[in-house]
Structure formats: C-alpha cells, structure tokens
C-alpha cells in the first residue's frame, strides 16, 4: 500500500521539472541529438547516455528532459548520484530526490518502487558510473514494477540490464581545417565562442584560439575520475595505448599492452575511454582515443616510467619485429 507521504511526493503538475538547476547558459549544438534521445525514450523504458567525462552528458540530459517533460503526467525528476560514495545509498539518494521520506522498517528501494508504481514520470539518474551495479539493480526493479516510469541515465558505461537502450555521445564536431574560425561548421567552436562572449562581450573569434585554462583543468579532473574507476590492469592498458598517435587495431594494442589485453580494451570502450572500432581502408577495425584522453594517458605513462618501453614496443610492432609484446 502506498502511503500518503509517498503519494504526495511525486504528485505535482503535469510537465513539471524537479531538481534540475536553472540553465544559466545557452545550449549550443546537438539539437539533432536531443531529438534522437527523445525519440528513444518514446520507444524504450531505459535509455543510458554514455560518453567520456566532460562530454556534456549532464547538460544534454537536462535538455532532453525539458523537451519531453510534457509527456509525463507526474513530471521529470533528477536524482544526482555524483556525491554518492556508498552504492548501498543509491536508492536512498533517489528516494530523497523524489521527496520520499524513509519509513520505519522499509528500505529505500521498496519505498521508491511503491511510490512510483502508479506514477507516470521520467527519472533522470545522473553520473551512475561509480555506483553502476546499484543503479542497475534499482533500475531493473523499477522497470519491472513501475510500468509508466521511464529512466534516462548518464554514465561512462552502460547499466547492462534487460530493456536498456544505449546512446553513445560523440564529441562536438570540430572545425573545418581550411576554416577553423567558422562557428557554423563546428559545434565545438560555436560553444567556445558563445561562452567567451558571455565573459567578454567584445570577444571576436578571428582565428584558432586555445580553450581557457579553467576548462582544461575541469577536463583533467573528469578524466582523472574515469581513470581511477579502472582496475590496475585496465589502467595499464589505457596508459599503454596512449602511445599510438592515431587509430590502432586490437593486434596493435596487444603488441604494446601485452597479449590478453583484449578484455581491457573492450572495457575501455564500454567506459567511453576509447571510441568503438570502425573499419579502416584495409577493412580492419581500429580503435580511437580522443586527444584529451591521449594526452592524459601519455602523462600517466611517463609518470609510471613506462614511456620508453611502450614506444619501443610500438616501434617493434610497426617494423614487424618478432619481439615479445611489452607487458609493463
């Protein structure tokens, strides 16, 4: 039986937004992506938006939520999980976000499931990667017991439960090399120009410009967070493949990171630290590491004292030397 507290907690006006911060900056680019994710939510009960740290998943999820809010009689609710350190507290954090108070002898997951059983709403779970198992367990329970609830999750890897649809967020489009200052040809340039004009109305984009130092520090912090979530082997493989200056095959990865590193490579893809493989001109699939991640990995490689060995293994692989792969 659903209590009065649980009923009133999620019985607000249709189309209302709950827990979302006010948008203080304009949303630049990715309008088509918002439409695509909104369409997925019409088809699937759980959509997980994945991408590397700093890719803009949180802001994008907020834009999607605003677009689809009118579909849900009981509104759209944000549960922010970044500050949750104990996976056992995930359900409690979601309950708090929904305004559900703990009841005697009732665990938070039960309270959330009962409160949402007869509600029509979208639950946005933001930053799930460090509590992925607990988030997946709660979502699985809601999908089974709350027929009119849909979930939009953001994470660096999927939740991997039945009924989940994954949307991989690609980086913002880069400028045309022949016209790097053209904001119409690059989402990244348009975003930078918009934010620069907010800081200085006299700003004029007249050529290639570096990102602000604060932005670089923010990106470094998000990459560091992703790296620390990896186990020791995955960290070592991540460092090793940062030695590649461009796309690389699985065979190449094993040449520099060691035989048997394939599972770690697949996990790095799942965690959005590598771009999924695409077929090259020769038909072989190649992985890609984004430049920001490559720079971080290179720094870690040097810090670990592994740079020379990785470079030698790469040179040996490129020359076809019959050498034992570097194992760190």
Q: Which domains does the chain have, with CATH numbers?
A: 4-168 (3.40.50.300), 183-217 (no CATH), 230-319 (1.10.10.10)
Mean residue pLDDT of the chain comes to 81
pTM over 0.75: no
Q: What's residue 68's pLDDT?
A: 95
Q: What's residue 302's pLDDT?
A: 92
Q: Which long-range contacts (CB under 8 A, 24 or more apart) does 281-288 make?
A: 284/249, 285/249, 285/250, 286/247, 286/248, 286/249, 287/241, 287/247, 287/248, 287/249, 287/250, 287/253, 288/246, 288/247
Q: What is the mean pLDDT of residues 175-190?
A: 53
Residue 146 pLDDT exceeds 60: yes
Q: What's residue 226's pLDDT?
A: 83
Q: What's residue 4's pLDDT?
A: 42
Q: By the 8 A CB rule, do 197 and 80 touch? A: no
Following DSSP, what letter does each residue of 30-46 receive, concatenated? -HHHHHHHHHHHHH-SE
């Amino acid at each position: 039986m659903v209590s009065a507290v649980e009923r009133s907690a999620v019985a607000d006006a249709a189309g209302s937004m709950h827990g979302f911060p006010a948008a203080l900056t304009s949303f630049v680019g990715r309008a088509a992506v918002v439409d695509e994710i909104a369409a997925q939510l019409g088809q699937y009960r759980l959509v997980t938006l994945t991408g590397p740290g700093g890719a803009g998943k949180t802001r994008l999820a907020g834009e999607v939520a605003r677009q689809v809010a009118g579909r849900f009689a009981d509104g759209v609710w944000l549960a922010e999980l970044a500050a949750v350190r104990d996976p056992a507290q995930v359900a409690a954090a979601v309950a708090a976000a929904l305004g559900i108070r703990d009841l005697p002898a009732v665990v938070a997951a039960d309270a959330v499931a009962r409160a949402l059983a007869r509600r029509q709403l979208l639950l946005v779970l933001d930053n799930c990667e460090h509590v992925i198992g607990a988030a997946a367990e709660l979502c699985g329970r809601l999908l089974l017991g709350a027929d009119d609830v849909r979930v939009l999750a953001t994470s660096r890897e999927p939740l991997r439960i039945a009924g989940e649809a994954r949307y991989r967020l690609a980086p913002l489009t880069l400028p045309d090399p022949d016209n790097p200052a053209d904001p119409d040809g690059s989402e990244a340039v348009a975003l930078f120009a918009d934010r620069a004009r907010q800081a200085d109305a006299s700003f004029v984009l007249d050529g290639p410009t570096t990102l602000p130092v604060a932005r670089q520090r923010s990106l470094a912090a998000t990459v560091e967070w992703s790296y620390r979530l990896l186990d020791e082997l995955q960290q070592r493989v991540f460092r090793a493949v940062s030695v590649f200056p461009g796309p690389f095959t699985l065979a190449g990865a094993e040449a520099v990171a060691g035989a048997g590193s394939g599972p770690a490579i697949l996990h790095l893809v799942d965690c959005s630290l590598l771009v999924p493989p695409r077929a090259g001109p020769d038909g072989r699939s190649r992985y890609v590491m984004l430049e920001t991640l490559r720079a971080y990995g290179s720094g870690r490689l040097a810090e670990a004292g592994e740079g020379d060995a990785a470079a030698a293994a790469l040179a040996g692989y490129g020359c076809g030397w019959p050498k034992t792969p570097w194992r760190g």
